Chains A and B, each alone.
Chain A
Amino acid sequence: MRLAALLIMLALGLVPTLSHAASTLDTVKARGVLRCGTENDTPGSGAPDSNGVLQGIDIEYCRAIAAAVFGDASKVTFIHTSTLNRFSVLQSGDVDVLIRETTLLFSRDTQIGLIFANTIMYDAQGALVAAKTGAKSLADLDGASICVFPGSNSELNIADYFQSHGLKYTPISIDNADALRRSFFEGRCDVFTGDRLMLSSNRSIAKTPTDYVVLPDLLAKSPLGPMVRQGDDQWLNIVKWVVNVTFLAEEKKITKANVDSARTSTDPEVKRMLGGTPGMSKQLGLNDDWAYQVIKQIGNYAEIYDRTLGDGSSLKLPRGLNKLWSDGGLLYSPPFL
């Protein structure tokens, strides 16, 4: 069965990883610029600021990879991808890495010739309701009408939730993010469901944001992370460790500002990470100071989060699960040894 499927895929030319003999790192270095698949229409992940420059956590990680590879975070071209073509542009080699708030799913990790590096943002499906309903949980909202994006995972999850709790609801599906938001604020539905990042950005633009609350219920996990092509372990390692280093830097309290003095730190792990042991990153194909460049030019995870999603941005999204393991969150980097 699998063989048959593989043969069909081969015949259709749908296993493009086979045709990429040269390593991604060599291709990127020869090109002199990283091609990063992103989005330009998601606040906090990737959207243009007032000067038309893309900002967001996904954009920051594209720039971090460029900093690691070239020592220059500006050597990146952002390729706007749509939800429909994002995987094929990566498969075809049109981009080197895809960082487009893509949820890690079993099927995406295993079936399409692509693979996820580690998670950069733990999002979760939640529910936004008007504060005046007084609801403490979704379970208080029997018979509610619910605004949801049609055909999304969210639509299936909310159906599962209400069915398993023996409650009734009326779905109102609208295939347009702006229209969906408007319907909710105009009171056409009692609940607005979707990923919490999206819900928070919608809440932030309500007339009085405090009139609305994001319920504590987590309907589904939504870990978002970068994707690369399968079969190039070196490149996967680069992307993975660029992310790890931002976690580790936060853990070791190394910031953009103090990274220079941290190079002479007495902590051997910090020294190793910032290039104190020459030749350690040779197998990775990067310069010894790649992690230093990432932190110097981009910063640690807390800094990235703060300016794109957190208090330094207009979204003011609490860190939630995106805290260090030592602070009760999920971010955890293996030792740099």
Chain B
Amino acid sequence: MRSFLRLRALVNSPVNIGITLACLALLAWMVPPLLHWAVLDAAWSGGPEACRAAAGACWPYVGQKYGFFLFGFYPSEARWRPLLALLLMLALLAGNLVPRFWNRRLLIAWPIILALVVWILGGGLGLPPVPTESWSGLPLTLLIASFALVLGFPLGVLLALGRTSKLPFFRMVCTVFIELQRGLPLVAVLFMASVMMPLLVPAGVTPGKLLRAYLAFTLVAAAFIAEIIRGGLQAVAPGQAEAATALGLGYWRTMQRIVLPQCLRVSVPSLVGVAISFFKDTSLVTVIGLTDLLGAVGAASRDPVWLGHDVEGYVFAALVYFTFCFSASRYAAWLERRLQDGARIARAAAVEQAYASRLAIRSEASTA
């Protein structure tokens, strides 16, 4: 009933009727060809010949290649390893989403699980080693994004504190760093890390390509996170820090106990936004020769036997990206509501407590 009433908004004024008709026309124009391509004229079984005969999409291609889309050039006989790594990372992410788990243990779980993932992918200590050059597909995408965010977060907090610091030296260094990283396109930073760095350091000590990509992503992520945290810091009333100082708390304890918790509450939705955008930005690593999810989908379409089905592959990639990003944004919206509720409950509790203590004081006074 409520949704029916909402539908009325589509036709309740001439302008709205016009917009509705325009949208319907657009759909009528777009949907039938799409339906023909994706369903009616598509090939659902058979090999490359069947696909060439069909006018529409070639879904057997996706059926044949989805393993490669997801895990890329990782040795196909050992695909259980990237699969396990992927599941571990997804479990970690899922655990991260539940506010009940937000405690010290989660902070410890991150580095442990990431180290475990690196071991599972890279081998050594019992597993046959696989060079980082072969790591590809979705695990690589997630690994780069999570490394960038996990290392970028503490760095970003420090940078934000530095930029708001009263000490001119720290303030200047942090400001220059943040503005430099934010002012450069991510792709340029990646190129610096991937192309220039090996030329500048002596041969032999050059860190691997993947490590260089981590480094570039981490630095840029830190700069973006720093600006969000700085915004959060400014949202915390200055009275809070002043009160803490008046109580005799030092700078670090004030930040740790009073300012940062309030600041993070404000910043969480924007931080999720950064996480989503970095998840998508990882596809830039193809330009430095790493094969992430999108790179693997692109490479798969170049198999001479299956040439010409790049669109189907990109549809698959789009679905994966959409699943991740849409769930992340729904989660951020839910979290935002919850944190607002949380803040309201906390305020209500504080008022109640103040009222109770006033009553207590009054009753003490009356008994005295």
Chain A interfacial positions (CB closer than 8 Å to B): 12-14, 16, 19-20, 40-44, 47-55, 77-82, 84-85, 88-89, 91-94, 178, 181, 201-202, 204-205, 207, 313-315
Interface string of B128-152 (1 = CB under 8 A from A): 0001011000000000000000000
Q: Chain B residue with minimal CB distance to A19?
A: B203
Please, which residues of chain A bring their CB within 8 A of the CB of B195?
84-85, 88
For the complex, give the distance between the alpha carbons of A205 and B195 in Å.
35
For residue B245, CB closer than 8 A to chain A, the reply is no
Asked if residues B52 and A205 are in contact (CB atoms below 8 Å), the reply is yes
Bound CA–CA A84/B286 (angstroms): 11
Known contacts: A78-B133, A80-B291, A89-B289. The answer to whether A16 contacts B302 by CB under 8 A is: no
Task: Name the B residues within 8 Å of A20 (CB-CB).
Answer: 203
B165 interface residue (CB < 8 Å to A): no
B191, B194, B291, B311 — which one has the most chain A CB atoms within 10 A of its CB? B194
B200 touches A82 (CB 8 A): no
On chain B, the number of residues with a Cβ less than 8 Å from chain A's Cβ atoms is: 45
Mostly, the B contact residues are: helix
Which A residues lie within 8 Å of B73 (CB)?
Answer: 40, 48, 52, 54, 78, 80
Q: Are A41 and B298 in contact (CB under 8 A)?
A: yes
Q: Which residues of B contact A (CB under 8 A)?
A: 48, 52, 64-65, 67-68, 71-74, 76, 131, 133-134, 191, 194-196, 198-200, 202-204, 206, 209, 286-291, 298-308, 310-311
- A47-B302, A50-B303, A178-B310 known; A80 vs B199 contact (CB < 8 Å): no
Contact call B194/A85, Cβ cutoff below 8 A: yes
6 residue pairs, one from A and one from B, having the closest CB atoms: A92-B198, A47-B302, A205-B308, A43-B304, A93-B203, A205-B307
Contact A48 B289 (CB under 8 A): no
Residue of A nearest to B287 (CB): A82
Chain B residue nearest to A12 in the complex (CB): B199
Give CA–CA (A94, B289) in the complex, Å: 12
Q: Out of A41, A53, A85, which one reaches B302, CB within 8 Å?
A: A41
Is the CB–CB distance between B302 and A94 below 8 Å?
no
Query: Which residue of A42, A52, A85 is within 8 Å of B76 (Cβ)?
Result: A52
A48 CB to closest chain B CB (Å) equals: 6
**Closest chain A CB from B77 CB (angstroms):** 10
